[in-house]
Amino acid sequence: MTESSATKPANGEVCPQVKNGLKPERNGWVKSVHPYHERQPKHQSHPGEQEEEKEVHAASRHGRLYNRPFVECFEETPMLVAVLTYMGYGILTIFGYLRDFLRHWQIERCPIAREREEQKDFVPLYQDFENFYTRNLYMRIRDNWNRPICSVPGAKMELMQRLSHDYNWTFEYTGRIVQDVINLGSYNYLGFAENTGPCADSAAEVTMKYGVGVASTRQETGNLDRHEEMEKLVANFLGVESAMAFGMGFATNSMNIPALAGKGCLILSDELNHTSLVLGARLSGSTIRVFKHNNMQSLEKLLREAIAHGQPRTHRPWKKILILVEGIYSMEGSIVRLPEVIALKKRYKAYLYLDEAHSIGALGPRGRGVVDYFGLDTCDVDVMMGTFTKSFGAAGGYIAGKRELIEYLRSHSHSAVYATSMSPPVVEQIITSMKCIMGEDGTTKGSERIQQLAENTVYFRKRLREMGFIIYGNNDSPVVPMMLYMPAKIGAFGREMFKRNIGVVVVGFPATPIIESRARFCISAAHTKDITAVISIYEIKPGCVAFLPLHHDSLLVSNFHWQSGEV
């Protein structure tokens, strides 16, 4: 078989031939990438099993740009699993059409997801086929989402129990509260989502002084001294000249990118970028070109073509070239190859827009994001964006960078001019939590949380791999996707975990590729590790998957033994 260029490392060396189902990654590397040649021991296999080595090691083209190992794993979906997954979706689709036929003749009642009879003479709001997936696939597993939470979403939470008597079309609340559900789904990376402690006390005090709402924009009568203090603190925290905050993280991207780019500009966007980045790029009116995820060869090719050919038809130079990337990609658990992106950005004189929604607070020895993680200079990133919704346990987002950039956005960003100011208690939550991370509260609790998150992340990923699960992403990413693949597993896994008081997020098509459904765990510094904890791994039938930590209040586990049972 002829070797394709995608299977070769960027430095021209040929990767070892892969026999265990791993495929070349989207960035031209094999699915498991290790920048160093260290040999890792094989995972211990169960009696009778023959396991091949799961990882292929390659030298990094840009190893000199990294001051630490950069390890990411993306194992290809096994062929048999992919075929069975497609068959599963095919069977569901066939039965969906059959059920729609029965509903058409009113043999089966369908109370939702159709136009009402009294509206049949109106122009339909949507085509009937547009809701086919919702009616026939999503409704089967709808009970795994939108569960009402009755407490602070910390390390543990309380959920309201609900039942459905019509196959998830409607839900009935029983009034019973499910206590002590282990929270492995919230983005509470540093554990600041809490209702006790200095953050909660400060927010309560500010509420008594300023109230809850400001009822005005920053440019009118909604600019408080707390807003000014928060923005100065954010700039100091990131090590930049200036910063400004917005009340909504999604709008921080979607409303500010149009202010930075427009017609005659080129936006180069990673294929896995968040919807807010995609929407902002589209609203800007710029030309958009997508490069493969974390693929520096793909990005460089687009940059070269942009410089060489210019704009379509006229071939005039682009007014501006803006590269959009994220720090941590929330569905893949992947970390951006920032040193290489910056090197390309400097070489081709482009601008870099970095979204650190998931990485700020969660990465780096000081919790200052992916720039701190790689030990880079913040001056090399033109636009630093992030949110307060995750590591800080608050709401809203920020844009940081040079003072001229921030002053320009204050008068040109729709989100800055027309949006209501951030709520004072939310601002105080940000200030207090950020001071804790920086150590300005006189304690070391912030650094301890950062260290605890890093330890929990490495430990959790290591134990999942030892147990034989396929997980995606970087070893240091607190977002841990565990692959489920088949559609039936999505609902079954979420329900089985909930039965055991564990709250997880399960994700499937169209949020992921059709053969890459997954459960996504989000690790927190608030999670603990109990040495006496027990993992019960039930007998796994072919095609089934289970990860069932039981007993004690531990959220991460160390010792385990085998118990019989079935899922």
pLDDT digits (tens, 9 = 90+) for 353-411: 999 999 999 999 999 999 999 999 999 999 999 999 999 999 999 999 999 999 999 99
> What does the alpha-carbon distance between residue 41 and residue 462 come to, in Å, rounded to a whole number?
13
In eight-state DSSP terms, residue 474 is E
Q: Is the pLDDT of residue 526 over 60?
A: yes
What does the pLDDT read at residue 3?
36
Say what percent of the chain tops pLDDT 90.
69
- Within 8 A by CB and 6+ apart from 332, the residues are 74, 272, 293, 472, 473, 479, 481
- Per the CB < 8 A criterion, the answer to whether 144 and 506 are in contact is yes
Ordered structural domains, the chain, with CATH: 75-183+443-546 (3.90.1150.10), 198-438 (3.40.640.10)
Cβ neighbour number for residue 306 with a 10 Å cutoff: 19
Q: How far apart (Å, rounded) are the C-alpha atoms in residues 145 and 155?
A: 19
DSSP symbols for 215-272? -SBTTTT---HHHHHHHHHHHHHHTSSEEEEES-HHHHHHHHHHHH--TTEEEEEETT
Rg of the chain on CA atoms, in Å: 25
Handedness of CA 276, 278, 281, 285 (dihedral sign): negative
| Strand, helix or coil for residue 149 | strand
Residue 283 has pLDDT above 80, yes or no: yes
Q: What is the pLDDT of residues 299-346, one digit of tens each?
A: 999 999 999 999 999 999 999 999 999 999 999 999 999 999 999 999
Regarding beta strands 556-557 and 72-73, do their DSSP bridges make them parallel or antiparallel, or are they unpaired?
Answer: unpaired
Sheet holding 32-33, edge to edge: 32-33, 72-73, 473-474
Token output for 77: 């979906």
**Predicted confidence (pLDDT) at residue 432 exceeds the cutoff of 90:** yes
Look at the block and give the residue holding tokens 């203090």.
229
Distances (CA, A) of 170 to 158, 165, 427, 497: 21, 8, 37, 22
Please report the pLDDT score of residue 114 as a whole number.
Answer: 65
For the beta carbon of residue 353, count every other beta carbon within 10 angstroms. 27
- For residue 319, give the 3-state DSSP assignment: coil
Helix (H, G, I), strand (E, B) or coil at 314: coil
Q: How confident is the model at residue 67 (pLDDT cuts 50, 70, 90)?
A: confident
pLDDT of residue 110: 66
pTM: 0.84
